Structures are given as C-alpha cells and as structure tokens.
Structure 1
Amino acid sequence: MIGHYAAAFERDQGCTEAEWLAWLPGAVRGHALTLPSPGTAQVTIDAGRLELAWHALPPRQIALVRLPRLAIRFRFVEVDEAARQRFMRYFDLYMQRGGG
C-alpha cells in the first residue's frame, strides 16, 4: 500500500483475470460497478468515477513457479484527493493477498 494515490497510475496485480473479476465487487465496497466492455470497469465514486482497464502480462517466473499477472490502469475522473485516498486505502487492503 502507498500513502498517496495520483489521479492516474498503473500497477501489476498478481492474479488471473477471473480472480480479479471475482475480487473487484468486494474491493469497491458498495460503490456502483459496471463492466462496459472486456478488460474495463467503471466505479462510481461520489459525483465522479474510477475507470479501470487491464490486460494480461506474461507470467512472472521464479525458479519453477509461474505467477499470473495483469497490468491495471487506474484513472480517477472528477474524484477529489480525499475521496481517492479513502477509496484506494480500502481497495488495496481488500486486494492484498497472502504475505504478512
């Protein structure tokens, strides 16, 4: 998790698209979620929205282990910084898997 979230950024997520789509409704915590086309989603946040777009990346390989990856683009439109921070803090906690 990071302390500041820009209006637009990209990151890798260690999961398959099926896993991402299964986790996404819980991660948006009651905000309206739509999937307008394959590889995209929109989340309503107050009067604005978060636009998400993703595509598969080559798996990360460590020795004999292959881990799936998605490239995910986040773009907040008309969402103020405070709302962006609140939303992403929960989103990141929800999406955190394993580890300590």
Structure 2
Amino acid sequence: MSQERHQAVLRRRQDELSSRARNVLRTGRHAAKFGDWDERSRRLVEVAASYSREELLDEPNAGPVTVEEIAAWLAGKGLELRRHGSSRRSAASKS
C-alpha cells in the first residue's frame, strides 16, 4: 500500500473502526476484562486504550495497518495506546 493511500485510510478511520479492528479488540487478550460482547462493544475505547502497540501486533488478524488504524482512532478521541511496559490502569484512566 502506498504511503499516500495508507494516510488516507488512517484519516478515514479516525471516526470509525473497520470490522477487522473492532473484532480484534472485542476478541483479544484484554477483551474479557470488559464484560460480554455487547459491553465490550460499548467500551471499545477503553478496550483499545488498554493495549500497547506491541500487544496489538501479537493479536491474530492485527497487522501494522490495523494497529495504526486503532491508534489513529484513539488519537481522534484524544487518547493513545498504552506505552509498552506501563500499567493498563494508567492508560485506561485517561478515558
């Protein structure tokens, strides 16, 4: 994917997540901490902010483009992915 196209995808994704990104977050390693499927869907921002970039890259179906999409989506909400090695509590408290 060209850099220009990649940037266009990220700009579009600041408002909404693709189904792939939503599913990565709702089924990933931190998802169960946020309740059932419906609750995870409602709390998707919190679920996303509980991840570091490295953790997301380890999730099935989450490649670099999906991780950048999630990071851009969080940035559009004034949040960011948790820094690798920091506690989930501090990242979630930003929400």
**Fold match by TM threshold 0.5:** no
Larger Rg: 1
**Greater strand percent: which structure?**
1
TM-score, structure 2 normalization: 0.29
TM-score between the two structures when normalised by the length of structure 1: 0.28
